Structure 1
Amino acid sequence: MSAPHVPVKRADFDQVMVPNYAPAAFIPVRGEGSRVWDQSCRELIDFSGGIAVNVLGHCHPRLVEALTEQAGQLWHVSNVFTNEPALRLAQKLVNATFAERVFFCNSGAEANEAAFKLARRVAHDRFGPEKHEIISALNSFHGRTFFTVSVAGQPKYSDGFGPKPQGITHVPFNDLAALEATISDKTCAVVLEPIQGESGIRPAEQAYLEGVRKLCDKHNALLIFDEVQTGVGRTGDLFAYMHHHVVPDILSSAKSLGGGFPIASILTTQELAGYFSVGVHGTTYGGNPLGCAVGGAVLDIVNTPEVLNGVKARHEIFKTRLQQIGAQYGLFDEIRGRGLLIGAQLTEGWLGKAGQVLAAAEKEALMVLQAGPDVVRFAPSLVIDEADIDEGLNRFERAVARLVNQG
């Protein structure tokens, strides 16, 4: 018999948790599909998707089945041994992408850390220690380890922790001329998000990505795509690089890969993978049987024409309605993104107030996100019912109307 649950409340967070987060005033306790219920049994529609993680919504039956079945067989053996779910998931990723080799870890930050380390190791062994410089985009986001926040182009996340890793340069996103002026034979890698997420849902331009690929080839630098947020169907393709037909050398994936269970990966070629020989890099939990079993079920469902085409169709529903709401209330004036990674840019009079929009939406029983202070972000389940989309957008419109009426 399990012990009874100790009652908890939101105020307990401020007593026992490190204050690096400021969670909402309510505590979700149950989820099903795109609906969530809090401690008071209030029902909310979820357009946040756990920050683009809950790719199939909450408690999808296939994922629950995969996790439960694996939980009764094998939880953890470490990487002293391999395991069947990890091998099956790796094979599925290799079959579905450019990759020939897969490395599993636990989070997007770990995946990017591994990608950056691999790029530097490749350059070191091929060309020597001078070829170590990494170029990233201003306002990018690549995780919260010290290396990844330093590579990301947002000083607010990396300042205040002492001397930063050297050899990292930042250039404007979508500015090929700036990259061309910066890249050199000392550059080991260029890292980009196909859609910048945390800085406002800003898609890369086709010509830009094509040009970046050519510059990397010219200077023997690796091209790394951070698809932590865009990967596993989020944009309507299995990975965003497929839309652009620009193939990276290394790709990082997390968030949607586990549908809510922590798992991440980097994808790369056989040749590059060889530079991570035994002992060069590792992780205790990476490739955990539980996470890989769930990830395999996620991939089986998402990587189908039905789901991927459905993502594109749902994008049009969101975009059309959001444009109508924006035109009517004057709160936002541009809808950006692809698939079900959508950003609504606030108008000049509302800049800096995305947090107020989130708070107003919560009062109407709707969960949304922000992407910086000026953009409201939507990242719902890829299989969200159209009825939930309609009802959620009705709630969002009521929230917007209330905000505008209050001035």
Structure 2
Amino acid sequence: MSNQELQARYGHVMMNAFGAPKRVFVEGRGVHVRDADGREYTDLLAGLAVLGLGHAHPAVTRAVTTQLDTLGHISNLYASEPQIRLAERLAAALGDPSARVFFSNSGSEANETAFKLTRLTGRTKIVAMEGSFHGRTSAALAITHNPKYREPFEPLPGDVVFVPYGDVAALEAVVDDETAAVVLEVLQGENGVVPAPDGHVQAARRLTEAHGALLWIDEVQTGIGRCGALFAHHAEGVTPDLVTVAKGLGNGFPVGACLATGRASDFFQPGMHGTTFGGNPVAAAAGNAVLDVLEDGLLEHVTETGDWLAGEIEGLGHPLVDHVRGRGLLRGVVLTADIAPAVAESALDAGFIINAPRPGVLRLAPPLIITRDELRPFVDALPALLDRHG
């Protein structure tokens, strides 16, 4: 069936939570996808920073199918070797010997887990950042700043204070002995790929330690290689108490995790939290396959390719491009006019999948395996896409 026919069927049966789909995709290989009309696109968004290894990566496909043919699901009343191995690898990569892992199915659920852990400090106050995005479930939404997302569903879990992202003085003014946790992203992806200013993450670590609070870093979008390291916060030189990951961990197979260190790693006792599907053998197999590929030299490629991409776009010297920010292959092209949604639409028509998280920012989060040759056509096409709306 055609895009138009499938879009009509979608409109009749799906809740209107996402609006009408722009395309219906039927196949993906590497960094390319094909829609129901047979047209091919270069995927520069990777399913919102999920498909780090691209579409239908053979290592992930092999791991998932082999595991599903061996042992697909057992619930968390029991354990599996792939689950244990994935937890060991994530904990070791975090770099703290006290680290322990709770597996979930998504980033929102990983953040729900972390939120519940903060309650077990005996305190309720959470300091979150303006511009933040942590998910759509209730507790994750409570610490997400955008009122458009929060207000229709209030009252949400309370005692959350928002401060300007990167404002150390504002942070110092609100973090106190009643604070359970400070939660932040090293780069705010949904806010337009905004990096934390120098010293911000370190200040949050210093203040939480001084007041007996937890430092919680959300790495759902920035982690698992997206920024050129398994965890983006490693570049900040801090050890958080809580780290949440998802997206790239399963390369499209739903899997997330909350990692806790120090005293927070012992907060949960049997019966306090749970999940039916989280960390099931197939999800764990996908996660292990992803880590195998990342550890085989891909992280250096991410850093080099991301820096090259930013340099090439800035090197265009286009008057509508102010600068490119971000790290690795999570980049925000900051424009001088609020035309990003229209440019993203034109890019799709031209065969490139990108998005506009802010009116003046284009987000690029391609598969981590992408090459310069595969990125070059987009760089070359960008001036004309901008000119169309400038």
Report the TM-score when normalising by structure 2: 0.96
Question: What is the distance in 2 between the residues matched to 1:104 and 1:217?
Answer: 26
Using the TM superposition, give the Cα deviation of residue 8 of structure 1 relative to its aligned residue in structure 2, in angstroms: 5.6
> 1:23-79: per-residue Cα shift (whole Å, max 9, x none)?
543211111110111111111111011000000110111111101101101111110
**SS across alignment from 1:160:** helix
Q: 2:373 aligns with which of 374, 380, 387?
A: 387
Determine whether 1:148 maps to 2:140: yes
Matches within 5 A, 1:2-401: 9-99=6-96, 100-121=99-120, 123-124=121-122, 131-269=123-261, 271-304=263-296, 306-325=297-316, 327-328=317-318, 330-347=319-336, 350-351=337-338, 353-401=339-387
Q: What stretches of structure 1 move > 6 A for 4+ residues in a row?
A: none
Question: What is the distance in 1 between the residues matched to 2:78 and 2:321?
Answer: 52
| Residue type of the alignment partner of 1:72 | D
8 Å CA contact 1:106–1:262 kept in 2: the answer is: yes
The alignment of Structure 1 onto Structure 2 pairs a total of residues equal to 386
Question: What is the distance in 1 between the residues matched to 2:163 and 2:248?
Answer: 28
| Residue type of the alignment partner of 2:67 | Q
8 Å CA contact 2:341–2:359 kept in 1: the answer is: yes
| Residue type of the alignment partner of 1:112 | N
What is the alpha-carbon root mean square deviation over aligned residues? 1.6
| Residue type of the alignment partner of 1:302 | L
Question: What is the distance in 2 between the residues matched to 1:93 and 1:146?
Answer: 26
8 Å CA contact 2:335–2:361 kept in 1: the answer is: yes
8 Å CA contact 1:364–1:398 kept in 2: the answer is: no
8 Å CA contact 1:233–1:303 kept in 2: the answer is: no
Using the TM superposition, give the Cα deviation of residue 384 of structure 1 relative to its aligned residue in structure 2, in angstroms: 0.6
Question: What is the distance in 2 between the residues matched to 1:169 and 1:307?
Answer: 38
Question: What is the distance in 2 between the residues matched to 1:386 and 1:323?
Answer: 15
**SS across alignment from 1:267:** strand
* 1:4 alignment counterpart: none
Question: What is the distance in 2 between the residues matched to 1:371 and 1:386?
Answer: 24
**SS across alignment from 2:54:** coil
8 Å CA contact 2:305–2:371 kept in 1: the answer is: no
Unpaired runs of 5+ in structure 2?
none
8 Å CA contact 1:366–1:395 kept in 2: the answer is: no
Say which is worse superposed, 364-373 or 293-302, in terms of deviation. 364-373
Report the TM-score when normalising by structure 1: 0.92
**SS across alignment from 1:319:** helix
Unpaired runs of 5+ in structure 1?
1-6, 125-130
Using the TM superposition, give the Cα deviation of residue 232 of structure 1 relative to its aligned residue in structure 2, in angstroms: 0.5
